[in-house]
């Protein structure tokens, strides 16, 4: 028997039929439960969207510094509305990257374990994965579209339902096109190459922005006209109708292409994509971003020799922390954030205002909490790993706390100095600013120490155990308490940003101190434990 | 052979103080007792293997001794004090390899050994790191990250990290797993030498050769009880 004969005799088997048979046997109450679950999820999504609307409108309000006097930045040439098309391009690129990272075709681990090794055609499995991928692409694109439209209409100040409707159709079609393209890339096993090209595309976009900024600064009439036309065009219905027609054609073409190629995707790619999807869903369900953003071995491998000389004379625990920071590229996030903040403040009109500065501080505090927690987490949670180091737990905690405070203080100082140098905030009383930054750093450190020890959440038992609204609110508050702690300690700092001439009321200092207490306790209290042990 | 309801005294030599002592220890979970009551007294330089069928509680015993699991009943003392795995003394004097292990994903194999050696203030740590890399035949992967290693190589790194440091008590959970035969043979000799130099060994194992070559006694966990038998009897039980 030759290979072709063997291939012909491989039976067609649709594992989906197996699931369907099992599903048909489910009784009514189980179906009702499923419906009830779906209902709760839809309700939760609507509530989340409502909160998202409010948050984005609040953000726009703050960024534009409504009613707050602000200095005129000599380098500012953009308006936020003019930048919205750029935001759209960036969103498209990152959505495509996400789809490539997720497969987009994937088989979850149980199916991969039991079905992929069977000597059967797996077309049914792949077909289902393709339908799921298309659904995922459409939903993700539509979600991005909703956020983008909120931003756009928040800036434009007027809402046109017809334009918004056509725009949403465009976003859904764009999701289909992007998913199909990602399937074709996955079929050819070119994800890594395409990801590299997309990274370069982001750099090109930044260069284009810089060139446009230079030309706008030089009052180049053609660029002025082009930017204005682009900003106006996104509010015109004809733009979106045209976009819909083009995307529909691309959708048909790309669907045909992806259907021709998707059977080439190998079991290994389906399995690894399944792991990526599982990781992402797990992170979303757990509301814990750490697993999904952990640096890959390949990324660390490229930096394996970095920092060796720098840390050679440091104590072992510091050595571990600094190497995690450098080789895991974890310092990139706050640095990129600070660069973005400075660039936006300098080049976008109206952003250089104290309300924006408040937003920048709050975001930095949250970002630092999450960022530092990822660095220090093994020292606080992996007792079997740290047992090898021959250091007491108290000593490890103290070092982690000190690292978190210093790292946060550096980031907050850079933001303060940058905004001060640009004239957005008034740095008149250095001592006050110093004390406020120190307390903010302690707060971020306290938040990150708490977040680093966050364990897996069983939402069913957590929320199921809450019998009334107050209890549910308490559970939810507890979930965000680490971030609240970090943000609350910024109270004196934010007071200085908004009214630099006024004396900070003592209750603000007190609140800040209370929330910073955990980090202080770790720094000082653990010292005595350490001496005893 | 010792009795099943055993109070097993393994103290020898001049020093009357036990390094590790478990009294009337019942292990398991609040809803499910796995084994006990057990009494175990280990003094300096003794080597005991813990053997038993799957699910008999071998790893649970080690995890309970380490404080990862609370005892259902009874108490455990290390150097006369309740076990506190957070304390400096415990971390300095007890070397542990109990699972497939976690690693600092950003540190290379050699750097893992280096931080352990330097964390314990070993003099001439560079040579000691090199010696461990040689012993476990890890020279070729010294510059690799944990994520780039095979499961056997990861196991060797963990064992190297456990054995590079000074310790009064060494706890190992199936150290023979995933090791090739040559490294196993070297490990048997290494553990025997370690024990002769005064280090106490408590090792969960399914390997009769490890019992015969490196340890003196075996605690057989069977039918919810612990029975102390000689290493040879333990090896025969494993080979049955």
Q: What is the pLDDT of residues B53-95, one digit of tens each?
A: 888 888 889 888 888 888 888 888 888 888 887 788 888 889 9
Contact A97, A201 (CB under 8 A): no
Q: Are strands B47-52 and B32-42 parallel, antiparallel or unpaired?
A: unpaired
User: What residues in chain A have per-residue pLDDT under 50?
Assistant: 1-8
For residue B239, the distance in angstroms to the closest alpha carbon of chain A comes to 31
**Which residues from B are below 8 Å from A375, CB to CB?**
none
Does B102 contact A378 at a Cβ distance shorter than 8 Å? yes
Q: What pLDDT score does A530 carry?
A: 55
Q: Is the peptide bond before B37 cis (omega within 30 degrees of 0)?
A: yes
Closest residue in chain B to residue A324, using alpha carbons only: B106
Q: What pLDDT score does B31 carry?
A: 77
Closest residue in chain B to residue A529, using alpha carbons only: B87
Q: Which of B115, B161, B165 sits opposite A320 (nearest CB)?
A: B115
Q: Is the peptide bond before A104 cis (omega within 30 degrees of 0)?
A: yes
Q: Write the pLDDT tens digit of every residue in A138-167.
A: 999 999 998 888 888 877 777 788 999 999
Q: Which of B91, B102, B161 sits opposite A382 (nearest CB)?
A: B102
* Average pLDDT of span B123-147: 93
| Mutation target among A318, A321, A390 for the B interface, most CBs of B within 10 A | A390
Residue B16: pLDDT over 60: no
The residue extents of the domains of chain A are 26-63, 73-286, 304-533
Q: Which of B102, B107, B143 sits opposite A323 (nearest CB)?
A: B107
| Mutation target among B106, B116, B148, B161 for the A interface, most CBs of A within 10 A | B106
Return the half-sphere exposure (C-beta side, CA atoms, 13 A cut-off) of residue A285.
Answer: 12
Q: Which of A324, A326, A388 sits opposite B116 (nearest CB)?
A: A388
Closest residue in chain B to residue A388, using alpha carbons only: B116
Contact B95, B169 (CB under 8 A): yes
For residue A306, the distance in angstroms to the closest alpha carbon of chain B comes to 10
Contact B138, B161 (CB under 8 A): no
Contacts of A341 (CB under 8 A, 6+ apart): A360, A364, A415, A418, A419
User: A241-245: long-range contacts (C-beta < 8 A, 24 or more apart)?
Assistant: A241/A166, A243/A166, A243/A170, A244/A166, A244/A169, A244/A170, A244/A173
Q: What pLDDT score does A2 carry?
A: 47
For residue B84, the distance in angstroms to the closest alpha carbon of chain A comes to 10
Give the separation between CA A273 and CA A157, rounded to whole angstroms: 42
For residue B13, the distance in angstroms to the closest alpha carbon of chain A comes to 28
Percent of chain B with pLDDT over 90: 50
Closest residue in chain B to residue A327, using alpha carbons only: B106
How far is residue A97 from each of residues A269, A346, B114, measured CA to CA in Å?
16, 29, 38
Q: Nearest-CA neighbor of A419 among A367, A486, A352?
A: A352
**Which residues from B are below 8 Å from A533, CB to CB?**
84, 86-89
Closest residue in chain B to residue A318, using alpha carbons only: B115
Residue B235: pLDDT over 60: yes
Residue B10: pLDDT over 50: no
Does B86 contact A382 at a Cβ distance shorter than 8 Å? no
Q: Per CATH, is B8-100+167-239 categorized as 3.40.720.10?
A: no
Exposure string of A13-32, with b = 16+ CB inside 10 Å and e = fewer, is bbbeeeeeeeeeeeeeeeee
Contact B156, B136 (CB under 8 A): yes
**Which residues from B are below 8 Å from A392, CB to CB?**
86-88, 91
pLDDT averaged over every residue in chain B: 86
Say if the ipTM goes beyond 0.95.
no
A4 burial class (0-12, 13-18, 19+ CB within 10 angstroms)? exposed
Does A390 contact B120 at a Cβ distance shorter than 8 Å? yes
For residue B74, the distance in angstroms to the closest alpha carbon of chain A comes to 23
Q: Write the pLDDT tens digit of every residue in A362-407.
A: 999 999 999 999 999 999 988 878 888 888 888 899 999 999 999 9
CA-angle at A473, arms to A468 and A475, nearest 5°: 95
Q: What pLDDT score does A72 carry?
A: 81
**Which residues from B are below 8 Å from A293, CB to CB?**
none
Does A300 contact B147 at a Cβ distance shorter than 8 Å? yes
For residue B27, the distance in angstroms to the closest alpha carbon of chain A comes to 20
Q: What pLDDT score does A415 carry?
A: 96
């Amino acid at each position: 028997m030759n290979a072709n004969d063997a291939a012909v005799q491989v039976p067609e088997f649709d594992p989906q039929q197996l699931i369907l048979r099992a599903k048909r046997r489910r009784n009514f109450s189980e179906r009702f439960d499923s419906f009830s679950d779906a209902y709760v999820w839809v309700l939760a999504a609507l509530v989340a969207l409502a909160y998202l609307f409010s948050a984005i409108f609040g953000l726009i309000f703050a960024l534009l510094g409504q009613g707050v006097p602000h200095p005129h930045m000599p380098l500012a040439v953009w308006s936020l509305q003019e930048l919205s098309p750029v935001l759209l391009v960036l969103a498209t690129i990152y959505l495509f990257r996400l789809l490539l990272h997720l497969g987009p075709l994937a088989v979850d681990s149980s199916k991969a374990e039991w079905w992929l090794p069977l000597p059967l055609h797996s077309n049914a499995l792949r077909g289902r994965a393709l339908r799921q991928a298309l659904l995922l692409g459409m939903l993700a694109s539509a979600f991005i579209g909703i956020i983008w439209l909120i931003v756009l209409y928040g800036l434009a100040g007027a809402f046109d339902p017809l334009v918004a409707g056509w725009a949403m159709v465009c976003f859904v079609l764009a999701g289909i096109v992007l998913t199909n393209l990602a399937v074709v890339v996955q079929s050819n096993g070119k994800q890594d190459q395409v990801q590299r090209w997309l990274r370069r595309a982001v750099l090109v976009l930044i260069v284009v922005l810089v060139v446009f900024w230079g030309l706008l600064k030089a009052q180049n009439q053609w660029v002025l006209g082009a930017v204005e036309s682009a900003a106006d065009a996104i509010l015109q219905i004809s733009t979106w109708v045209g976009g819909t027609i083009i995307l529909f054609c691309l959708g048909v073409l790309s669907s045909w292409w992806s259907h021709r190629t998707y059977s080439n995707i190998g079991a290994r790619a389906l399995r690894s994509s399944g792991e990526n999807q599982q990781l992402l869903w797990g992170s979303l369900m757990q509301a814990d971003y750490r697993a999904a953003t952990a640096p890959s071995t390949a990324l660390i491998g490229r930096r394996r020799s970095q920092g060796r000389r720098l840390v050679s004379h440091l104590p072992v625990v510091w050595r571990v922390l600094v190497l995690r920071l450098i080789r895991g590229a974890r310092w990139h996030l706050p640095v990129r954030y600070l660069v973005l903040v400075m660039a936006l403040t300098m080049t976008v009109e109206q952003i250089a205002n104290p309300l924006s500065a408040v937003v920048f501080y709050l975001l930095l505090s949250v970002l630092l909490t999450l960022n530092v927690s990822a660095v220090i987490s093994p020292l606080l949670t992996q007792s079997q790993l740290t047992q090898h180091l021959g250091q007491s737990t108290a000593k490890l905690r103290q070092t982690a706390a000190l690292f978190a405070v210093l790292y946060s203080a550096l980031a907050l100082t850079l933001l303060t100095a940058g905004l001060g140098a640009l004239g957005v905030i008034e740095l008149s009383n250095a001592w006050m600013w110093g004390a406020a930054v120190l307390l903010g750093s302690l707060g971020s450190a306290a938040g990150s120490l708490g977040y680093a020890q966050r364990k897996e959440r069983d939402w069913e038992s957590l929320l199921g155990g809450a019998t009334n609204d107050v209890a549910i609110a308490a559970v939810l508050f507890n979930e965000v308490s680490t971030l609240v702690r970090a943000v609350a300690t910024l109270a004196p700092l934010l007071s200085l940003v908004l009214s630099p001439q006024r004396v900070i009321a003592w209750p603000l200092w007190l609140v800040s101190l209370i929330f910073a207490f955990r980090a202080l306790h770790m720094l000082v209290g653990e010292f005595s434990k350490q001496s005893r042990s | 052979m010792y009795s099943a309801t055993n109070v097993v005294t393994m103290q020898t030599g001049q020093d009357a103080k036990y390094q590790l002592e478990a009294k009337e220890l019942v292990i398991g979970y609040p809803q499910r007792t796995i084994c006990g009551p057990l009494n175990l007294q280990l003094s300096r330089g003794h080597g005991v293997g813990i053997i038993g069928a799957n699910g008999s509680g071998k790893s649970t015993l080690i995890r309970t001794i380490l404080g990862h699991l609370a005892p259902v009943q009874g108490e455990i003392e290390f150097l006369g004090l309740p076990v506190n795995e957070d304390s400096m003394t415990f971390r300095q004097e007890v070397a542990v390899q109990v699972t497939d292990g976690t690693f600092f994903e950003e540190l290379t194999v050699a750097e893992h050994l280096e931080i352990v050696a330097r964390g314990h203030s070993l003099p001439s740590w560079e040579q000691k790191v090199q010696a461990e890399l040689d012993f476990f035949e890890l020279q070729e992967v010294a510059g690799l990250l944990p994520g780039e290693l095979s499961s056997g190589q990861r196991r060797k790194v963990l064992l190297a990290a456990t054995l590079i440091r000074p310790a009064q008590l060494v706890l190992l959970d199936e150290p023979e797993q995933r090791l090739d035969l040559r490294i196993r043979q070297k490990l048997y000799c290494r553990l025997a030498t370690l024990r002769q130099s005064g280090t106490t060994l408590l090792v969960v194992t399914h390997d009769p050769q490890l019992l015969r070559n490196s340890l003196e006694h075996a605690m057989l966990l069977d039918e919810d009880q612990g029975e102390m038998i000689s290493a040879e009897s333990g090896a025969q039980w494993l080979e049955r």
